[in-house]
Amino acid sequence: MEKCAVVEIEKVFFAYDGETVLEDVNLTICEKDFIWIVGPNGGGKTTLVKLILGLLTPSGGAVRVFEKSPQQARSKIGYMPQHAHLDQRFPVSVSDVVLMGRLGEGRRYGPFSKKDRQVAYEVLEEVGLNEFADRHFASLSGGQQRRLLIARALASQPQLLILDEPTANLDLLVVRELYELLHKLNSQFTIVMVSHDPAFVSQAVKNVVCVNRKVAVHPTTAVGDEVLSELYHGHVRMVRHGHSAAEKE
């Protein structure tokens, strides 16, 4: 029996400066699901994620995460924000970045504990970056930096992973590697991923959520088309986009 209480969004509305961003959103996310949130820029993808994280409060309706309010459930959420806003010149090492995922877990005052460091080491190993622990953040490649931010999200020992644009500005082969990692992690975690790039859907994704003011959910189905697989260097799944929400501007 599948448990579907990871995220429950009911009749949610959200307006920003009087302008409706999300309208009558209903969405249920079940355990071990892998959701891809797609949609045009300004369509409300990031808003939807911020509602789940409790960084924004809906103008109407209810958001429940693990049957609690998003704020109460935050400690069970591993979050990877957009990569673009990070300052590449910030003096921070790989292990420092991962340790930030331990905030709110261990003791509040003073340096991180031995346990925090142990967890940080384990998650770095999980994403294959343990040998880079002492390197400067900026010395990592774009793909490695994304892995690092995923590791930081894992360091919170979450049950739900939320990733905002994890693949932006990466080349296709690196993207594929990243999906392999996410596919592996999906056996332990529920994953919600945002991307404005709907060019192809990795085989790891189980459900696609289209957001453009309204929200529609589509299960993915395997595509037999070899040409398409060739094009994207790997297995692709197809989404049947037969709904009206996406066309409505």
Partner 1 sequence: MEFIDAVFNHTFMLYALLTGVLASIACGVVGTYVVARRITYIAGGIAHSVLGGMGLAYYLKVVQGLSWLQPLHGAVVAALASAVTIALASIYLKEREDTVIGAIWAIGMAVGIIFIAKTPGYSENLMSYLFGNILMVTRGDLWLIAALDAFVVIVGYLFHKQIAAVCFDEEFARVRGVRVQLFYLLLLCLTALTVVILTTVVGIVMVIAFLTLPVAVAGYFTRKLWQTMVLATLLSIFFMTFGLALSYSPDLPAGATIIILAGLTYLIVSVIKALRKI
- The residue (of 111 and 224) whose beta carbon lies closer to partner 1 is 111
User: Applying CB under 8 A, does 122 fall inside the site for partner 1?
Assistant: no
If the CB atoms of residues 156 and 167 are measured against partner 1, the closer one turns out to be: 156
Q: At what angle do helices 142-155 and 172-185 cross, to 10 degrees?
A: 20
Residue list 15-44, contact with partner 1 (CB under 8 A): none
Nearer to partner 1, 76 or 176 (CB): 76
Task: Tell me, rounded to whole angstroms, the distance of Cα 92 from its chain centroid.
Answer: 23
Task: Label residues 28-44 b or e (16+ Cβ within 10 Å = b).
Answer: ebeeebbbbbbbeeebb
Q: How far is the CB of 248 from partner 1 (least distance, A)?
A: 30
User: By CB under 8 A, is residue 109 in contact with partner 1?
Assistant: yes
Q: Min. distance of Cβ 232 from partner 1 in angstroms?
A: 30
Determine the interface stretch with partner 1 among 134-142, 175-183, 224-232, 238-246 (rule: CB under 8 A): 134-142
* Contacts of partner 1 in 138-167 (CB under 8 A): 152, 156
Residues 202 and 237: beta-carbon distance below 8 Å: yes
- Using the structure block, give the residue that is written with the tokens 């925090």: 116
Instruction: Give the Cα separation of 88 and 141 in Å (integer).
Output: 11
Report strand pairing: 160-164 vs 77-80.
parallel
CB 8 within 8 A of CB 165: no
List the strands of the sheet with 60-65, edge to edge.
Answer: 19-29, 7-16, 60-65
Who contacts 83 (Cβ-Cβ below 8 Å, separation ≥6)?
Answer: 145, 146, 149, 165, 166, 168, 169
Question: Binder to partner 1 among 14, 34, 66, 112 (CB under 8 A)?
Answer: 112
**162, 95, 144: which is closest to 123 by C-alpha?**
95
Name which of residues 226 to 245 contact partner 1 (CB under 8 A): none
Q: If binding is defined by CB under 8 A, does position 99 make contact with partner 1? A: yes
Tell me if 104 contacts partner 1 by CB under 8 A. Answer: yes
Minimum CB distance to partner 1 smaller for 53 or for 239: 53
Q: Which is nearer to partner 1, 46 or 202 (CB)?
A: 46
Residues touching partner 1: how many (CB under 8 A)? 30
- Which of 18, 82, 14, 3 lies closest to 52, judged by CA? 14
Q: What residues between 49 and 88 interact with partner 1 by CB under 8 A? A: 53, 55, 74-75, 77, 79, 81, 85-87
Smallest distance from partner 1 to CB 81, Å = 5
Q: Which is nearer to partner 1, 18 or 104 (CB)?
A: 104
Which residues contribute to the site for partner 1 (CB under 8 A)? Answer: 53, 55, 74-75, 77, 79, 81, 85-87, 90-93, 96-97, 99-101, 103-104, 109-112, 134-136, 152, 156
